[in-house]
Amino acid sequence: MTSNRSSATMNAIAAALGVSVATVSNALTGKGRVSSDLASSIKAKAGEMGYVPSQAARALRTGRSGVIGLVLPDLANPLFPQVAQAIEHAAVSAGYGVLIGDSRGETQRQTEAIGRLIERGVDGLIVIPRRGSRIGEVGCPVAVIDSPSTPGNTVSADHRDGGVQMGCHLASLGHRRIILLAHSLSSNVQIDRLDGLQAGLGPQAHCEVLLVEELEARNGSGCKLELATKVLHENFTAVAAIYDILALRALTELQREGVDVPGQVSVSGFDDLAWSSIVSPTLTTLRQDLKTIAELAVDALRRAIEETDTRSMFLDRMTVTGGERVRMELVARQSTARAADIGEKGTGGSDPKSSILRIL
Amino acid sequence: MTSNRSSATMNAIAAALGVSVATVSNALTGKGRVSSDLASSIKAKAGEMGYVPSQAARALRTGRSGVIGLVLPDLANPLFPQVAQAIEHAAVSAGYGVLIGDSRGETQRQTEAIGRLIERGVDGLIVIPRRGSRIGEVGCPVAVIDSPSTPGNTVSADHRDGGVQMGCHLASLGHRRIILLAHSLSSNVQIDRLDGLQAGLGPQAHCEVLLVEELEARNGSGCKLELATKVLHENFTAVAAIYDILALRALTELQREGVDVPGQVSVSGFDDLAWSSIVSPTLTTLRQDLKTIAELAVDALRRAIEETDTRSMFLDRMTVTGGERVRMELVARQSTARAADIGEKGTGGSDPKSSILRIL
DNA sequence: CTGAAAGCGCTTACAG
DNA sequence: CTGAAAGCGCTTACAG
């Protein structure tokens, strides 16, 4: 059944009330061409009969499905679900349904997913492109969420500014020798963050960029980062990771080697994943304002969709642009706390090391 | 546009070829009532003209949207994305689109989400119910993924057996005093896992169940678990957490207190989240076979949907049952390794403590 | 303010 | 094997 198995149709309502379907339609959609008395009795009847409009019929007639597609590079990646949740919410609030398409990390699947969603009749698409891929013309409006540095980007967190914030934060805590831990330079997001970090730390800071992709190419995936040695022997006092997963990897590895965080070295991440406030020490990170990003994306898409109807059908280039940047929010937690602050956090009290060793 | 803005219709194809739309339809849907010659030339023409079928028209006519709804308790929860990914894949393979509905952790929203998806015309629903909630009659087929102990459950991982596996694993490593770390007993999944753990550990084991929900009710959310004291003073040798997030919390807290994992205490989780193999030490856990679970759920739903057409429309009770259990797979990693094994893992070599201290 | 009618693009008995 | 026709449930000019 296209809708509820036993749902009444407009025809049934019209028959029950002795009016025409046109009037029922006008009353129910609130176009206002019906006397308010009739309108209310129609609405009452509709409720009573359990009327549920047929989206299929409406879509066929109006050419609008009321559904948008969400294309994600990899649903299993920990940040995207939060994005998906935010977009689902924004879309539902705007009256859209959300059809998902997962690229599972492959560019080709991304193209396939887009194709499938379009065939399903979506009115528009929100795409978080796979690293380094670009979205071509697809014949329907597309809002892209990526990095401000990505051409065609519609909206994204201001990753560079986030980096600047974190850089300033670390600099203000006195850090001068910092390891910048990234995965790969093929991602605009990572480049923006690194760039911001360096800018925020300032010229007097000595930074060393560690690329996990390279390390793993040499030593196998899941290899040690050898951070402890570096920290201890080369006097680095902070590890600024480009996203929380890397921070977690660094944090646990350091702890395992007996290095105290934040006593001997501070650790920070990006994105504020669900567990960031649950690990010990809790992780200093930057939170994306996914709610705002989602709302801006959905809104830009909605406008583009509406414009499509108004404008000529020949207009096939439909990429929504705008390039809005949404500010990230610094969340300072224990992993970058100064010794004096650690006690206040309420969980470091009985930590034997953090109260003895520290370098800042 | 319901589909591609400039897509040809069957009418256009029929006109171009001088045949009837009925024939075009029959040829394109492969119902086989058309001569193979004509069929191929119609298909060729369709391809050439860039024909994309209108899902809306098809849905209106057939009463089937070809879309199923996926209702999740909380997309932001780390396990569900993996589930969503698996279901998206299974559904797409079965020819369905997937509309998402997120309950954001509230039972009421769950009901709303179900309603919205039904109004959008989904053919059926896959629901992962919120803890403790039950899905009432909704007027369309529903497959439930939860715990075998949940009434109306269609398919799920065999959480109890997973617990048994982990229990046996720990017992075989010599553990006799184990802390069982759970969040709450209001979840069937957690109860099943705990139950299995205790069964697997056997009667000679001394288990203590620690409920984080209770702890946090007393000491505030994010409070310390005070595991180190317990482990050190009460001679517990293992912490078996009911899911990976709790294991991570335990692991980092223990490490921070200077307790060596697995040297002094083993830690294990459930679910094999993305970061489980990246933390140090890597986490011993149980992997759900989400691919199989998703396929079984989609398949059960598909059968129920097809049955709906065949059977009387009066049949409104449509909950798909079955109660299949899918075996979980134990993934033994460093966090429960015996000392002799740690060197072999290739990353514990330079760990000063794990090679010195151990209790097993 | 209300209604009759056309039509969105398909599929499906039913004839031929 | 092929086609003419009806109809899925809506919305939207157009008349009245």
Q: What is the pLDDT along chain A (360 residues), one digit of tens a residue?
A: 333 445 789 989 998 889 989 999 989 888 767 888 888 889 998 999 989 899 999 999 998 999 999 999 876 677 888 888 999 999 999 999 999 998 887 888 899 899 899 989 999 999 998 876 777 777 789 999 988 888 888 899 999 999 999 999 999 999 999 999 999 998 899 999 999 999 999 999 999 999 999 999 999 988 999 999 999 999 999 999 999 999 999 999 999 999 999 999 999 999 999 899 999 999 999 999 999 999 999 999 999 888 876 554 444 445 566 789 999 999 999 999 986 554 433 333 333 333 223 222
Residue of B nearest to A350 (CA): B257
* Cβ contacts from A onto B, under 8 A: 251
Distance from first CA to last CA of chain B, Å, rounded? 67
**Residue B81: in which H helix or E strand, if any?**
helix B80-93
- Evaluate if the CB of B28 falls below 7 Å from strand C: yes
d(CA B62, CA B309): 10
- Across the interface, whether the CB atoms of A313 and B5 are under 8 A apart is answered yes
For residue A4, list chain B residues with Cβ-Cβ distance below 8 A. 118, 139-140
> Residue B42, SS3?
helix
Q: Give dist(CA B169, CA B89) in Å, integer.
A: 32
Return the residue of A nearest to B261 by Cα.
Answer: A256
Sign of CA dihedral A50, A56, A57, A61: positive
| Residue B4 CB in 7 A reach of strand C | no
Asked if the model's pLDDT at residue B3 lies above 60, the reply is no
pLDDT tens-digit series, residues B74-120 = 766 778 888 889 999 999 999 999 999 988 878 888 998 998 999 89
Identify the pLDDT of residue B357.
30
What's the CA–C1' distance between A271 and C8, in Å?
46
A97 with B102: Cβ contact below 8 A: no
Q: Does the beta-carbon distance from B121 to A2 stay under 8 Å?
A: yes
Nearest CA-CA partner of B156 in B289, B9, B46, B251: B289
With contacts defined as CB-CB under 8 Å, which chain A residues touch B85? 74-76, 102, 104
Residues B58-71 have pLDDT tens digits of 999 998 999 999 99
- Residue among A60, A119, A275 whose CB faces B60 most closely: A60
Upper half-sphere CA count for residue B1 (Cβ side, 13 Å): 26
SS (H, E, C) chain A: CCCCCCCCCHHHHHHHHCCCHHHHHHHHHCCCCCCHHHHHHHHHHHHHCCCCCCHHHHHHHHCCCCEEEEEECCCCCCCHHHHHHHHHHHHHHCCCEEEEEECCCCHHHHHHHHHHHHHCCCCEEEECCCCCCCCCCCCCCEEEECCCCCCCCCEEECHHHHHHHHHHHHHHCCCCEEEEEECCCCCHHHHHHHHHHHHHHCCCCEEEEEEHHHHHHHHCCCCCCCHHHHHHHHCCCEEEECCHHHHHHHHHHHHHCCCCCCCCCEEECCCCCHHHHCCCCCCEEEECCHHHHHHHHHHHHHHHHHHHHHCCCCCCCCECCCCEEECCEEECCHHHCCHHHHHHHCCCCCCCCCCCCCCC
Measured between beta carbons, the chain A residues lying within 8 angstroms of B245 are 274-275, 278
Beta bridge partner(s), residue A70: A100, A126
**From the CA of B275, how many Å to the nearest CA of chain A?**
7
Comparing CA positions, the residue from B257, B272, B292 lying closest to residue B335 is: B272
Q: Which nucleotide's C1' atom has the smallest distance to the CA of B7?
A: C9
Residue-wise pLDDT for A250-287, tens only, equals 999 999 999 999 999 999 999 999 899 999 999 999 99
How would residue B351 be classed by pLDDT, with cut points 50, 70 and 90? very low
Q: Which nucleotides of C are covered by protein (CB under 7 A)?
A: 1-5, 7-13
Q: From CA A189, how far away is CA A148, in angstroms rounded?
A: 8
Query: Which of A340-344, B155-159, B346-350 comes out lowest in average pLDDT?
Result: B346-350
Whether B170 shows a pLDDT value over 90: the answer reads yes
What integer pLDDT is reported at residue B30 of this predicted model?
80
Q: Residue holding tokens 């394109």?
A: B28
B31 beta carbon to strand C: under 7 Å: yes
**From the list B80, B245, B258, which residue is nearest A278 (CB)?**
B245
pLDDT confidence of residue A350 = 36
CB contacts of A100 in chain B (<8 Å) are 70, 84, 88, 98-100
- How many C-beta neighbours within 10 Å does residue A136 have? 10
Among candidates A4, A70, A245 on the partner chain, residue whose Cβ is nearest the Cβ of B118: A4
pLDDT the model gives residue B359: 27
